[in-house]
Amino acid sequence: MVRTHLVQKLKDMSHKFGSSVFMQMAGAATSDPFVKIRNLIEEMIAKLVQEAQAEATQKAFCDKEMAESSKAQADKTMRGEKLQARVDTASSRKAELEASVKTLEGQIADLDKATAEATKIRNEEHVTYVKASKDFKDAATAVEGAIKVLKEFYDNQGSFVQEDSEEDQPELGGAKSDASHAIISILEMSGEDFTKLLMETETEESEAVDAFETLAGDNKVSKAAKQAEIKGSLSEAKSISVSLKDNEEDLASTGKELDAVNSYIDELKPQCETKVMSHAEKKARREAEIAGLKDALEILA
């Protein structure tokens, strides 16, 4: 009666759990001594308990490693994104500064070119002024000298006329006096024209000097401001380059660390991800198997 009950119990467990092991044990229970059967059942229970403990340990290991690895994966992904954003921002700013420096250098070159052209024109104007000024001065001096000579000449002629008798040449003396006045008047007008031209030339020269000095001064100030801006941009670009290099190195290092974490997670998946039956289901089945085997032991008892 006990053997029959035991055999039926083992067969039922074989059908319930789809295990050929229980069917083999049922076959043995039909004829083997109870002591041997008890040993088989106890060994089976011990094996199941050991497997349960191993699986529990494996699950604890997997839970711990997967949780830590997933957290590390998320942290390093986030850090990588932040570093990439910093690299992109720094690279963009550095490019802006380099473009600004290039533009400023071009503007300074234009200022230098404009100043050089203005200096060349000013030098040419000054040479023209010096020559014209000398010519006008010389002409005015020559006219002044001619007037002086003529006045002396005609004064002397007037003296000669006065020494002659009033009856000899009264009309000729008057004609000479009119002619002298006309000539001297013409020369004086010419002298005034030369003096006026000299003054106009000097005024133009003064205005040209003022305009050139204003232009040169403005260009100098503008150039100094642009040079200061270039210096500041280059200093900022240098600082950004240092920071950019550090961030790029950190990004590369973080990328390698993330690759290592991802690789480790890929190694964990085969042993930690259950394909057919979950750990809870396995645990429940094993506990049911152990309970059934303990029931079998009770039958034997």
- How do residues 56-105 score in pLDDT, each as one tens digit? 787 888 888 899 999 999 999 999 999 999 999 999 999 999 999 999 99
Q: In the prediction, which pLDDT does 227 show? A: 97
Average the pLDDT over 240-264 and give the result: 95
Beta carbons of 297 and 41 less than 8 angstroms apart: yes
Average the pLDDT over 225-245 and give the result: 96
Checking if the pLDDT of 248 tops 50, the result is yes
Percent of the chain with pLDDT over 90: 45
| Of the options 1.10.287, 1.10.3470, 3.40.50, 3.40.1420, the CATH number for the domain spanning 33-300 | 1.10.287
In this prediction the pTM is 0.58
Q: What is the mean pLDDT of the chain?
A: 83
- How do residues 107-156 score in pLDDT, each as one tens digit? 999 999 999 999 999 999 999 999 998 988 888 888 888 888 877 777 77
Residue 195 binned pLDDT confidence (cut-offs 50, 70, 90): confident
